[in-house]
Structure 1
Amino acid sequence: MRLRFFALAGMLLLSSARGADQSIQLPSPAAPVKNAAELKERIAGANANAKLDQQAKPATPAKPTDRYSKAALESEEDDIQALAERISTRLANLRKERESRPPAPRKKPAPAVAKAAAHDELIAHTWTYEGAGGPSQWGSMNPAWATCANGTRQSPIDIRDGFRVNLDPVQFDYKPTRFSVLDNGHTVQVNLGLGNTITLTGRTYELTQFHFHLPSEERINGKGYPMVLHLVHKDAAGRLAVVALLVEEGEPNEVVQHVWNNLPLEKNDAQIATMPLEPAKLLPERRDYYTYMGSLTTPPCTEGVLWIVMKEPIRLSSQQIAIFARLYPMNARPIQALAGRRIKESN
């Protein structure tokens, strides 16, 4: 009777322990309990197993905070707004500090450099055709212009007593081209696009610009002309060839009128034309010419320039000549010494 009681009590206690955790498995059928000590031992073992099973079960993870909830978004927005306000305040303080600082003093150039720069700028604007900055002073105004005073192949010249020979014709290859007009303070200069060339004695020169002088710088057997156009060419090696077109009064010139129509309103401010110019229409019908070696007729008076002076003049109307005369009443360098140079002319 006592044994049955202990067996029944053991089963009730084990059932209670299993109710604490469904993972506990009781022996089925339960072995009969012999005495109270054995019952206590079984109960202690069941509790120990229940505790081990509880520890072995994974912990239920905490439910993460929803970062996209309304409260979370509002909190993050407040943080960003506060940061933006701090940045704005810092920038404002930096601006005030910068504005309150005195400007840094400009570093003055060395006296010698400043003096040289001022001198170069002065002479660039003061050489003229008359007076203190006139042609007789060019050679002493700048060491780089010494050739203007001591050169032996200077231009222009009075062309006379040339050798009459069968000269190769100048091959003109001029095309309609874009252009701009510049009043550079000494003349009106027309700058041309690429693609216009002359070829002579096996060399090809590119037409870069042409400009005007009044009266003509060249003379033919002592005779001067109202104006002259100088068409400046350069070859691949940098050698220059200038074609001179003497001007006499006559009918209007279409190309020159196109240039006058595009005169700039200010000096040193190039006017870009919208319609192309046809330099071929400047040339006279006859292509006979004089040729000699000379120089540029303005500072720095560089020598080694091939001159080609067309014998037949071109014509401009009196009104067209008068327009240039209003800008430059005189911009011609005086005649230079021939100094034994040879002049050749077409038969």
Structure 2
Amino acid sequence: MQKKFALAAGAMLLISSVQASEWGYEGQSGPEHWGDIAPECSLGKNQSPIDITRSVEADLSPLTVNYTGNLVSLTNNGHTLEAHVEGDNSFTINGNTFTLKQFHFHTPSENLIHGKQFPLEAHFVHADSKNNLAVIALMFDVGEANPQIASLISTLPAKGDTITFDQSFPVSAWLPRIGEDYYRFSGSLTTPPCSEGVRWFVLQNNKDLSQAQVDVLHKAMGDNNRPIQPLNARLVLDAD
């Protein structure tokens, strides 16, 4: 059965009016045509992703992350590899708690930092009690092989399939040290319907993966990155 999703940076769990089969990353269904099926993709003023070329230093609270659950399964939904989690996984900012719904990947990265595009970006998608969305974005650069990714890609699902892991993997192992090392800005979903009002937290500390791991993930997902969008009047806040 075909499901409808509101996709935050590639995938989301909230119901949307946009069919996943109506959009893609190339040709007549590519990003330049998303506005035909979801007007905010072309009319919105606070769209994601962006190139973080300038920022304003701000006295922002540290991100208090409390991931104690596990990654239990992985779905290839045709647009991304989406990891499903269970247990208590949340983060708190300014007294507001956001619960992790899933995380997924983009090859290459959607957001850029000072013009640099990374080979892989992970989006940890959260929602609070009022269904406000927040995304923690983590960049990966080529270096040493990543043990979490090694476990993830040992068996990859085919398009439309889900695999369940015999062994659970701690979600906390995926993130680097965060604290105040992040950029914050207001943005949108990076896929149709491109809804705005999403809180974005782009981490300044990266993790490594090997080129071979990049190649495996890229083969599974292809180029699934939306082009960068105009910053317009937004400020990017630097908590560092």
TM (normalized to structure 2)? 0.88
Name the CA distance, whole Å, in 2 between partners of 1:346 and 1:171: 13
Which secondary structure state, in structure 2, belongs to the residue aligned with residue 261 of structure 1?
A: coil
Name the amino acid aligned to 1:345.
D
The structure 1 segments of at least 4 consecutive aligned residues displaced by more than 4 Å after TM superposition are 120-123
Q: Shift of residue 178 of structure 1?
A: 4.6
The 8 Å contact of residues 191 and 210 in structure 1, kept in 2 or not, is answered as yes
Name the CA distance, whole Å, in 2 between partners of 1:122 and 1:326: 26
Name the CA distance, whole Å, in 2 between partners of 1:324 and 1:268: 16
The 8 Å contact of residues 156 and 336 in structure 1, kept in 2 or not, is answered as yes
Name the amino acid aligned to 1:299.
P
The 8 Å contact of residues 255 and 278 in structure 1, kept in 2 or not, is answered as no
Question: 2:191: which partner in 1?
Answer: 298
| 5+ long unaligned stretches in structure 2 | 1-15
Name the amino acid aligned to 1:209.
Q
Superposition map of 1:1-347 within 5 A? 124-140=20-36, 142=37, 145-264=38-157, 266-287=158-179, 288-347=181-240
Which secondary structure state, in structure 2, belongs to the residue aligned with residue 335 of structure 1?
A: coil
Name the CA distance, whole Å, in 2 between partners of 1:276 and 1:122: 32
Name the CA distance, whole Å, in 2 between partners of 1:121 and 1:296: 14
TM (normalized to structure 1)? 0.62
Name the amino acid aligned to 1:147.
E
* Cα shift readout 1:193-237 (whole Å, capped 9, x = no counterpart): 131000011110111111110111111121111110001011111
| 5+ long unaligned stretches in structure 1 | 1-119
The 8 Å contact of residues 180 and 273 in structure 1, kept in 2 or not, is answered as yes
- How big is the alpha-carbon RMSD for the aligned residues of Structure 1 and Structure 2? 1.8
- When Rg is computed on C-alpha atoms for both structures, the one with the higher figure is 1
Q: Shift of residue 166 of structure 1?
A: 2.4
Name the CA distance, whole Å, in 2 between partners of 1:328 and 1:196: 26
Question: 1:59: which partner in 2?
Answer: none
Q: Shift of residue 168 of structure 1?
A: 0.7
Q: Shift of residue 239 of structure 1?
A: 0.6
Name the CA distance, whole Å, in 2 between partners of 1:148 and 1:200: 28
Which protein is richer in strand relative to its size?
2
Name the CA distance, whole Å, in 1 between partners of 2:178 and 2:132: 26
Name the CA distance, whole Å, in 1 between partners of 2:22 and 2:30: 9
Q: How many aligned residue pairs are there?
A: 224
Q: Shift of residue 122 of structure 1?
A: 10
> 1:121/1:172 Cα in 2 relative to 1: closer, same or farther (>3 Å)?
closer
Name the CA distance, whole Å, in 1 between partners of 2:88 and 2:103: 15
Structure with larger RCO (C-alpha < 8 A, sep 6+): 2
Identical-pair percentage = 38
Which secondary structure state, in structure 2, belongs to the residue aligned with residue 276 of structure 1?
A: strand
Name the CA distance, whole Å, in 2 between partners of 1:121 and 1:272: 28
Name the CA distance, whole Å, in 2 between partners of 1:285 and 1:123: 37
Question: 1:29: which partner in 2?
Answer: none
The 8 Å contact of residues 71 and 170 in structure 2, kept in 1 or not, is answered as no
* Cα shift readout 1:89-142 (whole Å, capped 9, x = no counterpart): xxxxxxxxxxxxxxxxxxxxxxxxxxxxxxx999532411111111010110x2
> 1:121/1:281 Cα in 2 relative to 1: closer, same or farther (>3 Å)?
closer
Name the CA distance, whole Å, in 2 between partners of 1:252 and 1:175: 24
